[in-house]
Amino acid sequence: MAEPTVRMSGIVLASLMFQHVNSDSDVEGLLLGESRFEEQVTISDSQADNIHIEEIYNIQKHIACHKLNQFYNSVGDVNVDAVNKILADNKQESVIGWYRQRRNTEQQMTFREKMVHEKLKSSLSNPHMIFVLLTPSKLTAPGSTHRMEYAAFTSRSRQFMNVPVLVNNLGLLEQLAYWKVSAACSAAGYNLTMKKHGSRFFSSNGLLREVNEVNKMNDSLQAELQKACGDVEESERLVETLQAEVSALRRRLSEKKQRGAGKGSLWSLCVRLSLTVILFVCFNRLYGAQREDLATVGNNFEIEDAPSGFKSPVWRHFGFPIYTNTTGEKWTDKTKTACKYCNIYRQHQQHAAAY
Amino acid sequence: MSPEVALNRISPELRPLLCSVVRNGRVGLDSTNCLRVTDLKTGCTSLTPGPCCDRFKLHIPYAGETLKWDIIFNAQYPELPPDFIFGEDAEFLPEPTELPHLVQWDAGNPECLLQLVKELIQQYHHYQCQRLRESSRLLFEYDSLLEDPNYGRNMEIYAGRKNSWTGEFSARFLLKLPVDFSNIPVYLLKDTALDPGEDVALLSVSFEDAEATQVFPKLYLSPSIEQGVVEYDAEGFTKLTLLLMWKDFCFLVHVDLPLYFPRDQPTLTFQSVYHFTNSGQLYSQVQKSYPYSPRWDGNEMAKRAKAYFKSFIPQFQEGAFANGKL
């Protein structure tokens, strides 16, 4: 079944409202425009072929009646002569419906409006007609804000139904479909102007001239883009090769380091152990008899660092004892060495063995 | 909104039309309820000086419901006929040829609008009767009543909305009971200055489902009739108590209808309001053998009962005085 939609430009809607605002009663008139049927075929995963028919009423113009009940009587019988008089130079075929504006009433068709609508359809031999209803009302009690509601109706088998109204703005609000071409303007002046100046903008195939130029530019752009893509690919491949080389070099370097680092550490350990043993033996020979001295002296000595001319690393850990006699005089005994970490002989020997 | 307020706000050219509606607007069976006007609005701009209201809602009692119809005039074109919006009954489309007061609208005739409303209600009644066809059971009930001239012409039908969830369909029948009140004297009226209106007894029967398995009857009595009734059985309608007065002597009459009435005769119990028996009860006499025939219709039974009362009351009164204590 066809789904009807009413479309009108903001200008037409605004002029309808403007007419009523300037009137002290209800107003009514005829709507001119174009109605067409569009078949849309939708293909989806679930359904291969879904045909959807849209019935679109494009309102382009309205003609107001000078007074109410001008083209019908009390029971809704339509006077076709009166309709033609209202239309004046406009064609009867361009009538796609009629409208009425009534203040402070419900947004429903009245009894007479339904009668008139049915009779208008049969009088003008047009089964597809719409009725547009505008119902302004006060929104606030003091009347500072007014509301202008509008709706469209159509009838099928004497059943009246509401039809959505879309107001064409600078851009359509639909985002899911392609742009639908609006109805061609029927104004004679417009057609004359297009005929006169059209050749400056349109080529022989009906497209705008700039469209061909833009297409050419697009082709050039595509070629440049492809070239740039090729260059990028080449450089990427080069980068890949270089990265592989760098990885190989790094691997070799780390291997070399590992080999060198292992010998060095073992060697230094051997040197330290040797030194420690040597020191232990030396101290044992030199100071083994003087354990008692050291033990006698005990903890009451300070240690003097070796002179700076002594370069051996062993002097970091040893020094010369400084004794203090009973009178408080200090003297350095350079015939002995003392461990900086302990103060008695036994511990001294342990430290020497450790070194 | 009182009628006076409505008349003050309506546009002067439309005032006579509205006046007859709000003052004389009794339509339908329930003539005790008047037509009411609310939501007076205007189709003029807010700069137009008042009074300029030309559209309003009309509340119409019908079959126990209240229809709310919008009536739209145009204050700038008062000669034009009104237009209507029939509330929730969007599918109601009356036949224009059956509305002579619309075809020949006469704005100068103050009764024109009221007559047009009555014609529309007639059409609405036909529309509701058509809707009964959705239920064969209810249609049968309707056809049965239609065959009886006593009810056929005095009936209002309201077929409710079909419940889209349950598919249930309900209806209400409002019937004017064919009772002759002319012979029943007015014994008690609280305020004789007030117009009690036409004497009427209405029976409202609600069918809650299409198969008429749930039926709810309700009796409406006009105020003047209700004054004389002390109490009655509102469910089974098997008992009625009246307070009557004869030559300044007040007494109660209890009418008990047996299970197989009218085959079995009702029992009448007369009770004095002044006298007590020795046992402390109100003095009363039960009558079971008074003139009666099951073949009489309701009015004949009432007429015969009235004649019997006239003959029996004097001796009842004597008995009450002789055997009862004040």
Average pLDDT over residues B256-277: 87
Q: How would residue B187 be classed by pLDDT, with cut points 50, 70 and 90?
A: very low
Q: For residue B67, what pLDDT is reported?
A: 92
Q: Is-contact A44 A91, C-beta < 8 A? A: no
Per-residue confidence band for A351, with pLDDT thresholds at 50, 70 and 90: very low
Mean model confidence pLDDT for chain B: 83
What's the gap in Å between the CA of B185 and the closest CA on chain A? 47
pLDDT for A288 equals 47
- Is B85 within 8 Å of chain A by CB? yes
CA separation for the pair A111, B123 (Å, rounded): 13
Q: What is the pTM of this model?
A: 0.63
Distances in Å between the Cα of A12 and the Cα atoms of A27, A32, A173, B73 are 15, 11, 18, 27
Q: Which residue has the higher pLDDT, A222 or A158?
A: A222
The pLDDT value recorded for residue A354 is: 46
Nearest to A194 by CA among A202, A183, A182: A202
Q: How much is the pLDDT for A121?
A: 94
Q: Report the SS3 class of residue B253.
A: strand
Mutant choice from B9, B10, B45 vs A, greatest count of A C-beta within 10 A:
B45
Chain A residue with Cα closest to B74: A25
A297-318 pLDDT tens trace? 445 578 888 888 887 878 888 8
> Are the beta carbons of B77 and A143 separated by less than 8 Å?
no
At residue B20, φ and ψ (nearest 5 deg) are -70, -25
Residue A87 distance to chain B (closest CA, Å): 23
Beta strands A95-101 and A130-138 are: parallel
Is B44–A114 a contact, with Cβ atoms under 8 angstroms apart?
Answer: no
User: Using omega within 30 degrees of 0 as the cis cutoff, is the peptide bond preceding A142 cis?
Assistant: no
What secondary structure does DSSP assign to B59-106, as a single string? Answer: EEEETTEEEEEEEE--TT-TTSPPEEE-TT-TT----GGG-HHHHT--
Which amino acid is located at A272 in the chain? R
The alpha carbon of B130 is separated from its chain's Cα centroid by a whole number of angstroms, namely 23
Tokens standing for residue B107: 């704005």
CA distance A241 to A234: 11
Query: In whole angstroms, what is the distance from residue B260 CA to residue B267 CA?
Result: 12
A106 with B70: Cβ contact below 8 A: yes
* pLDDT computed for residue B14 by the predictor: 94
Q: What's the pLDDT at A94?
A: 87
pLDDT mean over B63-77:
92
Average pLDDT, chain A: 81
pLDDT at A214: 85
| pLDDT tens, residue by residue, B121-156 | 999 999 998 888 878 888 888 888 888 777 777 888
CB pairs under 8 A between A and B: 75
Measured between alpha carbons, how far is B205 from B173 in angstroms, rounded to an integer?
Answer: 5
CA distance B68 to chain A (A): 12
- Among A180-184, A217-221, B196-200, name the one with the lowest average pLDDT: A180-184
Q: Of residues A312 and A178, which shows the higher confidence score?
A: A312
Q: How far apart are CA B113 and CA A260, in angstroms?
A: 119
Task: Note the pLDDT of residue A345.
Answer: 44
Is the ipTM beyond the 0.95 threshold?
Answer: no
The segment with the largest mean pLDDT, out of A44-58, A216-230, B156-170, B245-259, is A216-230
Residue type, A60: Q
Name the B residues in 96-125 with CB < 8 Å from any A CB: 96-97, 99, 102-103, 105
What secondary structure does DSSP assign to B111-175, as a single string? THHHHHHHHHHHHHHHHHHHHGGG-HHHHHHHHHHHHSHHHHTSEEEEE-PPPTTT----EEEEE
Whether residue B30 has pLDDT greater than 50: yes
| The pLDDT of residue A346 | 42
